[in-house]
Amino acid sequence: MDPNSRTSTPPDEEASLEDLRRRLDVRSHVLELSFALGKAVSAELEMEPLCDLVVERIGGVFRVEALSLDFLEESSRTLVAKRQLGERARVAALRARAVEALAAEALVDAPRAAAVPLVAERKVKGVLALGWSAGEPRPTREDRHLLEVLAGTIASAIDNAWLYSQIQRLNERLEEKVRDRTAELESALADLRRAQAELVEREKMASLGQLTAGIAHEINNPLAYVISNVALARERTRAWQRYAMSWGALARVERATDPREVVAAVQGFVDAWCADDKYRGHAADFRQELATLSGDDAAALASRFLRYVQAREARDVGDDGAAAAIDPLLASAEQGLERVKRIVLDLRAFSRLDAAEQADVDLDAEIDLTLSILAHLAKERGVHLARRRGMRAAYRCHPARLGQVVLNLVTNALQATEAGGAVGVETRDDEQGVAIVVRDTGSGIEPAALGRVFDPFFTTKPPGQGVGLGLSISYRIVQEHGGRIDVESRPGEGTSFTVRLPPRGARTPDQEDV
């Protein structure tokens, strides 16, 4: 044999070598893409992108012409198609193989198809079925084993994605419940704040109602002498007018040349200025007697009556004149009206609806406003109401609410103090904060009741004199300002309430909620 001659390979052997080469290429491709598939599906948590990724990568790894990815519906134990690839008839055949794999819970191999269960946590999650074309080599046992391994990876990824979706749904439901609960709590809080504001206003109106009789008395006193002074000034004004008009009538009488002119001038004066109670009887007598006379006799009677009225009016007007007598009457009436105006304005300012916004106010002036409302109560009970001011500058607060606190504390102190006692209201302002102190020399509070004075509806007053909300509301208002109320009492010696408020610039609870 010629050594240079080429040795020929039998056709069967060449086919076997080509088949082996193809299988090696497939296996190498399978190993390469399987690693990429496992890495990709392990990183994907969204279910739909994961399904797309499985179809794309599995189709590339095994060079399939048909594919069916089905998930198991646990309640009905039926397969639900998630992704399909290929002709309808071929996909239907693959799904039949998938049902077999589900029943056997193992890989089902056919000449041109394979179906493998997707098992995770010892539960079947679905089935992956693949179909090859006639030109592709049939997967070997090692390839089928690799398919099972990939199926496990895919099943774990699907299970993770399902758990992730469940967690997402739970989170969404939880967030929705939190939003709903938050909305409910916000609504409840708004209702509570409205109810609290209404309760404060009702307590304020109740307090004002208890003070109405005394305030009416305070208003009635100046109104009484205003009315009296105005009536007296009006009478003196009329006297001055009568006196002036009498001189006018007298001048006409002296100029008259005919007795009838004299009578007419006097009668006009009488009709205009002698119709009131002072001259009604005299005027009637004059008219009756004048009716019996005529001529010079009638003129003489008319002249005498005119001079009589003039003399009386001159005595009433006095030497200083009516204007000098009227001026002090009007000045006194003006003072009375100013007092009434001040009382009404104080009531209006105190009973105003409390605004939600805080304001920088003169706290001493606000407390004085409240005490002006209570001055008559102290007077009626014979209690000395003392005041000591100590604020250095304006203080940021809810002025009307703190006014309600002072009203409640001072009212209680006045009601607990007998005639001859004293109630003191003091303000202090230093680096530690602001203090409002209300002391009384009243009956005091028993130690057993001292710890309950701020409880709602607790009261030591007799029935009908209180519902026990004043101190409770005051305590809540002071808390909203970031402060507290301290109380000290000794039975028979008196009680001291101290409202302690934060220093200027400190954040209060209602500011922190914003």
DSSP string of 84-99?
Answer: EES-HHHHHHHHHHHH
Structural domain containing residue 263: 232-331
**Which of 231, 251, 267 is the last residue in one of the domains?**
231
Is residue 511 a contact partner of residue 485, using CB atoms and an 8 Å limit?
no
82/52 Cα distance (integer angstroms):
9
Q: What is the CATH number for 366? A: 3.30.565.10
Give pLDDT, residue 24: 65
Residues 291, 379 within the same domain: no
Q: Which of these, 198, 203, 210, 194, lies nearest to 469 by C-alpha position?
A: 203
Residues 108, 216 within the same domain: yes
262/368 Cα distance (integer angstroms):
67
Q: Measured between alpha carbons, how far is residue 277 from residues 231, 283, 284, 285 in Å?
A: 14, 10, 11, 14
Half-sphere exposure of 492 (CA within 13 A, CB side): 0
β-bridge pairing 113-120 and 108-110? antiparallel
Is residue 427 a contact partner of residue 367, using CB atoms and an 8 Å limit?
yes
Residues 162, 271 within the same domain: no
Element (H, E) at 158: helix 141-255
CA dihedral 379, 384, 388, 394 (to 10 degrees): -20
Residues 71, 99 within the same domain: yes
- Domain assignment present for residue 327? The answer is yes
- For the beta carbon of residue 159, count every other beta carbon within 10 angstroms: 17
Give pLDDT, residue 449: 77
Q: Write the DSSP symbol of residue 434.
A: E
Give pLDDT, residue 335: 75
Strand order from edge to edge, sheet including 108-110: 78-85, 66-73, 123-131, 113-120, 108-110
Q: Write the DSSP symbol of residue 138.
A: P
Residues 208, 239 within the same domain: no
**Which of 231, 247, 282 is the last residue in one of the domains?**
231
Give pLDDT, residue 472: 76
* Amino acid of residue 346: D
Residue 468, class by beta-carbon neighbours within 10 Å (0-12 exposed, 13-18 middle, 19+ buried)? middle
Per residue of the chain (514 residues), give pLDDT as tens: 444 544 455 555 665 666 666 666 656 655 665 666 666 656 656 778 878 877 877 776 777 888 888 888 877 888 888 888 888 888 888 888 888 888 888 888 887 888 888 888 788 888 888 888 777 666 667 777 777 777 777 787 777 777 777 888 888 888 888 888 888 888 888 887 777 667 666 666 666 665 665 566 667 767 776 787 777 777 777 777 776 777 777 777 777 778 888 778 777 777 776 766 677 777 777 777 778 787 878 888 878 877 877 777 777 666 555 556 677 777 777 777 777 777 777 666 655 544 446 788 899 988 988 888 788 888 888 999 999 999 989 999 888 788 888 888 998 899 889 999 999 999 999 888 999 999 999 888 888 777 777 766 556 555 444 444 567 778 888 888 899 999 898 888 899 999 999 998 776 655 554 3
Q: What is the CATH number for 200? A: 3.30.450.40
Residues 427, 360 within the same domain: yes
148/104 Cα distance (integer angstroms):
14
- Domain assignment present for residue 3? The answer is no
Instruction: Classify 377 in phi/psi space as left (phi over 0), alpha (psi -120 to 50) or beta.
Output: alpha
- Domain assignment present for residue 344? The answer is no
| E-state strands within 276-337 | none
333/222 Cα distance (integer angstroms):
8
Query: What sign does the dihedral 338-341-345-347 (CA atoms) show?
Result: positive
Give pLDDT, residue 421: 93
Q: State both tokens at 212.
A: 């109405």
- Cα separation of the two ends of the chain: 105
- Domain assignment present for residue 145? The answer is yes
Residues 303, 227 within the same domain: no
Q: What is the CA radius of gyration of the chain?
A: 54
- Domain assignment present for residue 342? The answer is no
**Which of 231, 247, 265 is the last residue in one of the domains?**
231
Query: How many domains does the chain fold into?
Result: 3
* Amino acid of residue 486: D
Give pLDDT, residue 352: 57
238/273 Cα distance (integer angstroms):
8
Q: Measured between alpha carbons, how far is residue 377 from residues 433, 436, 468 in Å?
A: 31, 20, 20
Instruction: Classify 464 in phi/psi space as left (phi over 0), alpha (psi -120 to 50) or beta.
Output: left
Strand order from edge to edge, sheet including 484-490: 384-388, 422-430, 433-440, 494-501, 484-490
Residues 224, 236 within the same domain: no
- Domain assignment present for residue 155? The answer is yes
- Domain assignment present for residue 349? The answer is no
Residues 394, 506 within the same domain: yes
pTM: 0.43
Residues 167, 278 within the same domain: no
Residue 238, class by beta-carbon neighbours within 10 Å (0-12 exposed, 13-18 middle, 19+ buried)? middle
Question: Where do we find the tokens 């099972």?
Answer: 148
- Domain assignment present for residue 32? The answer is yes
Residues 171, 263 within the same domain: no
Residues 316, 424 within the same domain: no
DSSP per residue, 116-139? EEEEETTEEEEEEEEE--TTSPPP
- For the beta carbon of residue 76, count every other beta carbon within 10 angstroms: 8
